[in-house]
Structure 1
Amino acid sequence: MSAPTLRKGTLGTADIAFFVISAAAPLTVMAGVAPIALLLGGIGAPVGYLVAGITLAIFAVGFTTMSRHVRSAGAFYAYITRGLGKPVGIAAALIAMLGYNGMEIGVYGLLGSATADTAHALWGVDVPWLPVSLLGLLLIWYGGFRSIDFGAKLLGVLLLAETGILVLLAGGVLLDGGGDGGISFASFSPGNVFVPGMAAVLACAFAAFTGFESTVIYRREARSPERTVPRATYIAVAFLGLFYAFVVWSVIQAFGDAKVVQAAADDPGGLFFSAITTYVGPWAADLMHILIVTSVLASLLAFHNAINRYGLALAEEGVLPPALGRVHPRHRSPYVAGAAQTVLGALVVIGFAAAGADPYAQLLLWVNTPGMIGLMVLQLLAALAVFLFFRRVPHQEGALRTVVAPLVAAVLLTGAIGLVSYNVDLFTGASTGVNVLLVSLVPGVFLLGLLLARRLRRHRPEVYADFAAEPPEDSPGPSSKPVSTSVTL
């Protein structure tokens, strides 16, 4: 009897889009980060989210074009291997593990602090953050243990709830005619866009899209992946870019162009709650508090599922221990990889708690930052890989998709990584030494990956030779691989 595999043909376009958008946690990003963007860039902040969305849409053009030519389960590292060679692909795989684990594990600190804030705001109860975070680890483990369609349905409900409350806020503001001065479109005028703080706004905006590229991770479980994966990618980028810009602009209208920056300075954490209380009612503010917690849970589950599938793919490649490649016979989930990821998360969370760290300012921000930069570096490497891949293989794709889009995306992503790295103190609030260490983790892991590739080539040549190779057309996984078309360096 053959070993169980992931459940094929389960996820449609909407399901994959739910995973990607949920990972971005729109409500948490808006209520928690958008006020900082307003402080940094003024009323032109909505344009920053549009620019980030356009940049990532350009990246998606080449990325999704290449997805029609790559069937490997390895997602980004498979693409990068095809274009840039096995050493860079193996290094990219380690950066992916750093990126997705960093983005998820740090958010357990946010879960603890957000739940504590909600309990205090609604009931005046002080809740310790560590038990909440540990309970969250168990809930997310169970969500990942269950079948992928269970996770898709759950995320669909949670995502509709968190976006619904933001639509309710925007609708209340617009129906009431806004604050002082009425409805204004001054946010989009050049004088308010080309300001010194816009570079920092762009850094915040790019961070708000983190994880959008994870659509290809679900290729093996998608229905008609050649169509559903590109569609889900475009839907996620378009929705996030337009929705973020619209919501931030609506909140500006709630206070008025002349007063919103001061309101954000006076109470950044309460800006959205104040607006929804005024234009919808106190009950909506209470509901928003609760939905921020569920938004964080949805983000955790989305990243957890992505990490598990990366772990599964790397175990099947022979890079990680084979046990991580086991799939549950009933739920068809990578349950061993999920358990290992949960244990890793628990160790990091407990370690930060034992050190007396703040769950938000240190566990969330310090762990998320290298994860965020790592995923942006993956996007840059993938853009370069798209260009080089189509230079070497025969194809019928147009130059706009295979030359212009990936090169433009590479230039823009390089700028975005530079902005985030230069403004890293906005994300961490830490000392220069801590910031240097956090940013250095990404190139450090990349170098470690290159060394691992060298070791595999010398001591496990069969694993190195088959890394990220294409599976046969009828294969559910990457076993029995033919020779890869990537460059062997």
Structure 2
Amino acid sequence: MSAPTLRRGTLGTADIAFFVISAAAPLTVMAGVAPIAIMLGGIGAPVGYLLAGVTLAIFAIGFTTMSRHVRSGGAFYAYITRGLGRPVGIAAALLAMLGYNGMEIGVYGLLGSTTADTAHALWGIDIPWLPVSLAGLLLIWYGGFRSIDFGAKVLGVLLVAETGILVLLAGGVLLDGGADGISLASFAPGHVLVPGTAAVLACAFAAFTGFESTVIYRREARNPDRTVPRATYIAVAFLGLFYAFVVWTVIQAFGDADVVRAATTDPGGLFFSAITHYVGSWAADLMHILIVTSVLASLLAFHNAINRYGLALAEEGVLPAALGRVHPRHRSPYVAGLAQIVLGAVIVIGFAAAGADPYAQLLLWVNTPGMLGLMLLQLLAAIAVPLFFRRFAHGEGRFRTVVAPVVAAVLLAVAIFLVTDHVDLFSGASTTVNTVLVSLVPAVFLTGLALAYRLKRDKPEVYARFAAEPSPPDPATAPAAPASTTV
């Protein structure tokens, strides 16, 4: 009797898009980060989100084209391996684990702090953050333990709720005409080409983190050659346009002349003040609750992505084989999920024991290297695309296989520089702490290179099959021309 596997043909385009958009946590990003973007970049801040969206859409062209030829469940590291070789691919695998775990585990601090803030704002009670974060770990474990379609349904409901409250805010502002009438000054070059735009771009790129995880669900997707690219483009387009639209409407709520002052005075309360004035206090109360559910949705989406990375690396022989077990009923990578929850609990409890602040330290310090790690993976994947396609005959166009990936690589390199240069915006830490946080990314990558050469020497069979195509191939998803393996 064969071992159970992930449930194939389960996820449609909308399901995968829900996972990706939920990971980005639109409500949390808007209410928590957009005021800082306005404060730093002025009324031209919405354009920063559009520029980030365009850059990632260009990246998605080559990335999704390559997805038709790479059927491995390893997502980023499989793509990088095919283009840049196994040593870089193995290093990328470790970097992916740092990136996705960093983006998820830090958010347990945000869950604790936002829940505490919500309880205080709505009911005037003070609750400690640690029990909330630990309860969140249990909820996310259960969500990941259940089948992938269960997770998709949960995320669909939560995503509709959190985007709905932002649409309600925008509608209230536009119907009322804003503070000084509706203005398009945000899109004028004079308000976009200002020194603060670099900082806005750094905030904007961070708001898209995790959008590329569509390919992680390839093995569970229906007709993955179509659903994965569609979900990727939908996620990028939705996030870019929606972020820009919401930020622009909030600027209208306060007026071009006053919004920067309002954001500087009370960044955390900017969205709540706007929705209270234009919709009502009941909507502000609802927004408080939906921020908590937005954080939970982001945690579940990242948790599912991490589980599938762990499963893939266990199947490769890089991680312990036990992590590759799939639940016979729910068809979920439940052992990898449990291991990830244990890791999260250790880190959360460690920060609490050290007396750390759940937001300023657990969230920001753990998220920062995670975000930089995922951005570096995007850059490596963009570089890998043209190198992959030059190795064999294929029917893909030159724009998709060369021009778009090269342009994306240049733009992503600029984005990484901007984020690194403004890393204090994300970490809120001292120069020493920032140096440590940024240095974690190259340190993990170099550790991965060392692991690759050790595997090649001590476990050549594991090294040789790393990121290999599944065998036998699935006729429904096989590429038109055979892809060569790298050495």
Using the size of structure 1 for normalisation, the TM-score is 0.98
Tell me the residue number matched to 1:83: 83
Partner of 1:417: 416
CA contact (8 A) 2:314 2:321 kept: yes
**Over residues 420-448 of structure 1, what are the superposed CA-to-partner deviations in whole Å (9 max), with x where a residue is unaligned?**
00100011111111000000101000000
Match of 2:454 in 1: 455
Q: Which amino acid aligns with 1:115?
A: T
1:359 alignment partner in structure 2: 358
Residue identity over aligned pairs, in percent, reads: 85
Mapped to 2, the partners of 1:24 and 1:267 lie a distance apart of: 23
Q: Which amino acid aligns with 1:183?
A: I
CA contact (8 A) 2:21 2:211 kept: yes
Identify the residue that residue 192 of structure 1 maps to in structure 2. Answer: 191
Inter-partner Cα distance in structure 2 for 1:229 and 1:475: 16
Distance (whole Å) between structure 1 residues aligned to residue 326 and residue 484 of structure 2: 28
1:107 counterpart residue number = 107
The gaps in structure 1 that reach 5 residues or longer are 477-482
Match in the other structure for 2:434: 435
Deviation at 1:391, TM superposition (A): 1.2
Q: What displacement does 1:416 show? A: 0.3
Alignment check: 8 A CA contact 1:84 1:385 kept = yes
Offset of residue 475 of structure 1? 6.1
Given that residues 12 and 228 in structure 1 are in contact (C-alpha distance below 8 angstroms), is that contact kept between their aligned partners in structure 2?
A: yes
- The aligned residue for residue 154 of structure 1 is 154
Q: How does 1:235-254 map to 2 (within 5 A)?
A: 235-254=234-253
Tell me by how many angstroms 1:449 deviates: 0.3
Q: Determine if contact 2:103/2:370 at 8 Å carries over to the other structure.
A: yes
In 1, the alpha carbon distance for the partners of 2:125 and 2:335 equals: 37
* Deviations, residues 276-327 of structure 1 (Å, cap 9, x unaligned): 0000000000000000000000000000000000000000000000000000
Q: Trace 1:33-432 onto structure 2 (pairs within 5 A).
A: 33-179=33-179, 181-432=180-431
Assess if the C-alpha contact under 8 Å between 1:466 and 1:484 holds in 2.
no
Pairwise CA distance, 1:472: 2.4
Q: Is the 8 A contact 2:105 2:344 kept in 1?
A: yes
Report the AA paired with residue 16 of structure 2.
I
| 1:147 and 1:331 in contact (8 A); partners too | yes
Letter in 2 for 1:17: A
Q: Is the 8 A contact 2:137 2:341 kept in 1?
A: yes
Distance 2:290 2:201 in 1: 26
Unmatched 5+ stretches in structure 2: 476-481
Partner of 2:10: 10
User: 1:480 is matched with which residue?
Assistant: none
Instruction: Report the CA distance between 1:484 and its aligned residue.
Output: 7.8
Pair 1:325–1:155, CA change in 2 (3 A): same
Distance across 2 between alignment mates of 1:473 and 1:378? 28
Return the alpha-carbon distance in structure 1 between the equivalents of residues 311 and 395 of structure 2: 33
Tell me the distance in 2 between the aligned counterparts of 1:325 and 1:382. Answer: 25
8 A Cα contact 1:276 1:282, kept in partner: yes
Contact persistence 1:74–1:217 (CA under 8 A) = yes
SS of 2:485's partner is coil
Q: Give the Cα separation in 2 of the matches to 1:473 and 1:267.
A: 58
Work out the CA distance in 1 between the residues paired with 2:39 and 2:252.
Answer: 15
* 8 A Cα contact 2:391 2:484, kept in partner: no
Deviation string 1:186-227 (CA, Å, 9 cap, x unpaired) is: 000000000000000000000000000000000000000000
Distance 1:395 1:150 in 2: 38
Q: Is the Cα contact below 8 Å between 1:74 and 1:468 reproduced in 2?
A: yes
Q: Distance in 1 between matches of 2:201 and 2:71?
A: 33
Quick check: 1:469–1:484 contact (8 Å CA) kept in 2? no
Task: Give, in whole Å, the separation in 2 of the partners of 1:429 and 1:29.
Answer: 16
Aligned residue type for 2:44:
G
Q: Which stretch shifts more, 90-99 or 392-401?
A: 392-401
Check whether the contact 1:99–1:375 (CA below 8 A) recurs between aligned residues: yes
Q: How far apart are the structure 1 equivalents of 2:60 and 2:450?
A: 30
Q: Give the Cα–Cα distance (whole angstroms) in 1 for the partners of residues 74 and 429 of structure 2.
A: 34
Contact 2:57-2:236 within 8 A present in 1 as well: yes
Is 2:486 aligned against 1:487?
yes
Q: Deviations over 1:317-355 (max 9, x none)?
A: 000000000000000000000000000000000000000
Partner of 1:29: 29
Name the CA distance, whole Å, in 2 between partners of 1:387 and 1:23: 28
Q: SS in structure 1 opposite 2:106?
A: helix
Secondary structure in 2 matching 1:392: coil
RMSD: 1.0
Q: Which amino acid aligns with 1:219?
A: R
In structure 1, what is the Cα distance between the partners aligned to 2:425 and 2:448?
A: 29
Corresponding pairs, count: 481
Displacement after TM superposition at 1:474 (Å): 4.5
1:24-55 deviations in whole A, cap 9, x for unaligned?
A: 00000000000000000000000000000000
For residues 22 and 304 of structure 2, the distance between their equivalents in structure 1, rounded to whole angstroms, comes to: 12
Q: 1:414 is matched by which residue type in structure 2?
A: A
Partners of 2:152 and 2:351 lie apart in 1 by 31
- 1:486 is displaced (CA, Å) by 3.1
Deviates more, 1:389-398 or 1:109-118: 389-398
**Regions of 4+ moved over 3 Å:** 473-476
Distance 2:224 2:429 in 1: 42
Letter of the structure 2 residue corresponding to residue 214 of structure 1:
S
Letter in 2 for 1:150: F
For 1:319 and 1:380, locate their aligned partners in 2 and report how far apart those are by CA, in whole Å: 23
Q: Secondary structure at the match of 2:55?
A: helix
For residues 95 and 485 of structure 2, what CA distance do their matches in structure 1 show? 19
